[in-house]
Structure 1
Amino acid sequence: MRASKFLLPLLLALAASAASAQSAAPAKAAQCFTCHGADGIAKMPDAPNLAGQNESYLVKALEDFRSGRRENEVMTLMAKPLSDEDIRQLAAYYNGIAIEVKKK
């Protein structure tokens, strides 16, 4: 019984943290979450992690997908309708996610 006294507040805090991360995201980021996650950690095996990624790299990659200079069926489709401002906001969002490097 005592463990549940502490478990509920912990679960609520974790849920609030996840909701906070998603609410801080730009509007267009929701379409990225399925593959790249709201936390920037890939949810699909072929998708890269984006958390902490270099902002200028993300801008260039999205611009290249949008223009067709870089090809990927899914990313080309996702990037096509993005404005320059959308791309800037998405790159800043994923760049701003703190990452922790694990040492072996």
Structure 2
Amino acid sequence: MQPPSRLGLCAACHGTAGRATQPGVPNLAGQNLDYLRDALKQYRNGRRNVALMRAAIGPVSDAELDALARWYSAQSPQAVLP
């Protein structure tokens, strides 16, 4: 799978493989595709009111949102240590 063109936009906080690089930022790796797609659309349209996400996602098309959701849902989640 080819990384989406807008991956750098998200990777700054969520990491290229969907493992967050900053405290308080959620991991996206392995999340449900439909959930991610819907969440991204909600950030873009303001239904989820997070200014940083709205600014980042605002100019992203439906096709680009879909590519990002597909990418992150296909990544392996971080293993939970006992």
TM-score when scaled to structure 2?
A: 0.91
AA matched with 2:29: A
AA matched with 1:26: P
2:17 is aligned with 1:56 = no
Distance 2:69 2:26 in 1: 14
Number of residue pairs matched by the alignment: 82
CA apart distance, 1:25: 1.1
Question: For 1:79, which of 57, 69, 73 is the aligned residue?
Answer: 57
**Contact residue 14 and residue 27 of structure 2 kept, 8 A:** yes
Where 2:8 maps in the other structure, the secondary structure is helix
2:11 is aligned with 1:30 = no
Relative to its length, the structure with more helix (as a share) is 1
1:93 maps to what in 2?
A: 71
Which has the larger Rg? 1
**Cα offsets for 1:49-88 (capped at 9, x unmatched):** 0000111111111100111111111101011111110111
Structure 1, gaps ≥5 residues long:
1-20
Structure 2, gaps ≥5 residues long:
none
Percent identical: 37
